[in-house]
Structure 1
Amino acid sequence: MTTKITHQRNSVDDAPFPQIAGDDEIDLRELFSVIWEGKWLIIAITTVFAVGSVIFAINQPNIYKSEALLAPASAEGSSGGLAAIASQFGGLASMAGINLAGKGGADKTQLAIEVLKSRQFIGEFVEKHQILPELMAVDKWNMADNSLTFDPGRYDSVSRTWVREVVPPQNAEPSKQEAYKVFIGKLSVNQDKESGMVKMSIEHQSPYIAKQWVDWLVTDINRVMKERDVAEAMRSTEFLNKQIELTNVADIRAILYKLVEEQAKIIMFAEVRDEYVFKTLDPALVPEEKAKPKRALICVLGTLLGGMLAVMIVISQHFLSNRD
């Protein structure tokens, strides 16, 4: 009796293993069977996505990218002299409350990049060059006559008025904040950490406008940084001259005269150099080839997405019907 019961238990314990393997094999066959039965639905959905991705890719305008390679301009006339004064008269200068720390070229380059990306600079850039329609309302670029076609729902090129419909507090004419968001998306400024070289690029539907904007940006950032340093040097000179009149200590007066001399050098170098912060090593060119869109990639990804979605729909319908 005991032996018979043990034999039955062993049979029961051994039975589920081949049964589980059989179930897995049946499920896999069932999965492929479901996909095969729904092949026409899968083909139809994939075809719709493929055609839609092709139409979408064709309707996307070509975007051209113009790029310039810039080198940080040396900071002669500013840091070297101040460092020498600091080594000689650092103690006396500290007593007088004067900071002799000079600004290096690397710091000035990084400052110029941050100024270039600022809302104030970009807002003034757009307003100065009157490029708001080209920035916010271009529909496409016509290669035959190098002209732009504007979106009639946004901008009337004949009367040069904005006609877009917006929700308050926005106005028909885009604000500086809107212009900044669009412009910063087209602008790219990257500095190589090892060499210090800066690459500046602009993307636009028109390759000629992309090249023109890069040239304007380089010119304007050099001008702005020059004006900032000259104005600061002139204010410093005015302050130092007042301090010279107020002190009778010979050593302090010597330091102040040296500082006045350094400020004069800064002004002189700024006036004689147009490329004040960035020197152009490789100027921007009119690109001949588009940078984007990648139409072939869009079509492939759209087709794959449609096929995956179609398979999921077919499998979901099958299991939902079985559950019901």
Structure 2
Amino acid sequence: MSGNSEQISGKSSHLPPPPASLIADSEIDLKDLFQAIWKGKLIIIGTAFIFAIFSVIYALNAQEWWSSKAQITLPQKQDYSGYQQQVKQVQSVFDVYQEDGTVLVSEELEQFINPELMLKRFVVAFNSSVNKQAFLESSSEFHDLSLNKTQEINPPIQTRSWFNKIAAQPVGKNEAFLYNLSFQSTTKQSSLILLNKYIEMIEQKVKDDALNNLHAMIKSKMRELTQQKTMIESQASDELAVTIQRNKYAYEIALSAGIIKPIRVSNQYDYFNIALGAEIIKNKIKVLESVSNLSIVEPRLQKIDAKIKTLNLFEIDRVIDFNTVRFLEKASPLPSRDQPKRAIIAILGTLLGGITGLTFVLTLFALRRLRLVK
């Protein structure tokens, strides 16, 4: 067995090497490769040039997009002092007055003059799709833009395509109360005009909503006080009727007992209080029956009437000037366009053309090598 293995190993060690031509054919000579690239340089340059031309043509004819931006933050008290004064005029109506004279200050109206909530309402209104569509459909500046003049586009669809070009976004994660307002349009001037117009619309809407919400709160409080008054008046009226009836019974009992004048009694549990005497009880009945102002019976009615009177005299000033946000930066256009980035498009187009030409040259080189091998 060992002899056979030695013979086999000896034969294998004396196997002839593969032909040199086969090795040469299976390997790509870098020199030939570079020569092929050099010979095809005109193809590569020509392809890159053609792609560069088309890239430049596209960049020059592509729709331009420009942006204008503004920056807002929390309002200061001086920005909404007039509105705050109106809110404070009805603060006493919402406060709770206790029997011991202490006053529990209500916080129901704080939501109207909270700076954080004011800023939040402005941002929500700015990003509202309903407000965006209403603005775009009513804006003469938007209709004057020469975008897609040659195409028949459904107006609602066209306006919806602009929604993402109007945005209020936080400046950064660490800046919770700083927002950038932006409006993107086809020209630098139109982006600034549209942003200013949209800001004006949102400011007015937020102001109107603030006044309307205050009005709704006052109306709701008025209904609440009216219901309280009705309920307390009913209770006071019933209590007065019971008191009158009790005194009538006391009068009859006093007459039957012959008690005309007040007397002293030791019975502390005289439910009908006949010790007053029939004469005084009769006069008391007359006085009770003549009572028309139930606040005499129930003092809480006087406080409720005072609150209702305050609300009736209060009138919201619709022309009051106040701001719900503070502008750190007024609206201004950005110095450069958003799209298209013409230099980048031209460079990328040229590179793509060069790569395409190089690929074509290398493909031809590989095909020639295959023919030579065959």
Task: State the TM-score, normalized to the length of structure 2.
Answer: 0.56
1:301 Cα offset (Å): 0.8
1:230 Cα offset (Å): 1.8
Deviates more, 1:124-133 or 1:98-107: 98-107
Instruction: Pick closer, same or farther for the CA change 1:301–1:314 going to 2, 3 Å.
Output: same
1:299 Cα offset (Å): 1.0
Written as runs of structure 1 = structure 2, the 5 A alignment for 1:71-90 is 71-74=73-76, 77=84
Written as runs of structure 1 = structure 2, the 5 A alignment for 1:75-224 is 77=84, 100=108, 103=111, 104-135=114-145, 137-138=146-147, 153-154=149-150, 164-165=151-152, 170=154, 174-175=155-156, 177-182=157-162, 184-192=163-171, 193-195=173-175, 196-224=177-205
Matching residue of 2:51: 49
Contact 2:121 2:206 in 1 (8 A): no
Amino acid at match of 1:194: N
Instruction: Pick closer, same or farther for the CA change 1:31–1:72 going to 2, 3 Å.
Output: farther
Aligned-partner Cα distance in 1 for 2:26–2:327: 67
1:44 Cα offset (Å): 1.8
Matching residue of 2:282: none
Matching residue of 1:238: 219
Aligned-partner Cα distance in 1 for 2:10–2:124: 83
Contact 1:61 1:205 in 2 (8 A): yes
Matching residue of 2:360: 313
Matching residue of 1:285: 332
Secondary structure at the counterpart of residue 197 of structure 1: strand
Matching residue of 2:341: 294
Aligned-partner Cα distance in 2 for 1:111–1:11: 91
Aligned-partner Cα distance in 2 for 1:73–1:11: 95
Contact 1:132 1:179 in 2 (8 A): no
Matching residue of 1:161: none
Question: Within the alignment, does 1:227 sit opposite 2:212 as a pair?
Answer: no
1:242 Cα offset (Å): 0.9
1:21 Cα offset (Å): 9.9
Aligned-partner Cα distance in 2 for 1:100–1:24: 87
Question: Within the alignment, does 1:69 sit opposite 2:49 as a pair?
Answer: no
Which whole-Å deviations, capped at 9, do the CAs of 1:134-175 have from their partners, x for residues lacking one?
A: 34x24xxxxxxxxxxxx7x53xxxxxxxxx445xxx4xxx23
Deviates more, 1:218-227 or 1:26-35: 26-35
Matching residue of 2:8: 5
Matching residue of 1:95: none
Give the unaligned 5+ runs of structure 1.
Answer: 90-97, 139-150, 155-163
Matching residue of 1:272: 320
Instruction: Pick closer, same or farther for the CA change 1:25–1:99 going to 2, 3 Å.
Output: farther
1:40 Cα offset (Å): 2.8
Contact 2:127 2:167 in 1 (8 A): no
Aligned-partner Cα distance in 2 for 1:102–1:34: 80
Matching residue of 2:350: 303
Instruction: Pick closer, same or farther for the CA change 1:8–1:27 going to 2, 3 Å.
Output: farther
Contact 2:64 2:340 in 1 (8 A): yes
1:111 Cα offset (Å): 3.8
Larger Rg belongs to: 2
Secondary structure at the counterpart of residue 332 of structure 2: coil
Instruction: Pick closer, same or farther for the CA change 1:312–1:231 going to 2, 3 Å.
Output: same
Q: What percent identity do the matched residue pairs reach?
A: 20
Amino acid at match of 1:233: L
1:9 Cα offset (Å): 5.0
Secondary structure at the counterpart of residue 198 of structure 1: strand
Aligned-partner Cα distance in 2 for 1:289–1:107: 34
1:283 Cα offset (Å): 1.2
Written as runs of structure 1 = structure 2, the 5 A alignment for 1:247-266 is 247=228
Give the unaligned 5+ runs of structure 2.
Answer: 97-105, 233-299
Contact 1:34 1:315 in 2 (8 A): yes
Contact 1:223 1:274 in 2 (8 A): no
Total equivalences in the alignment: 267
Contact 1:218 1:278 in 2 (8 A): no
Contact 2:125 2:131 in 1 (8 A): yes
Coordinate RMSD, CA, aligned: 4.5
1:178 Cα offset (Å): 1.5
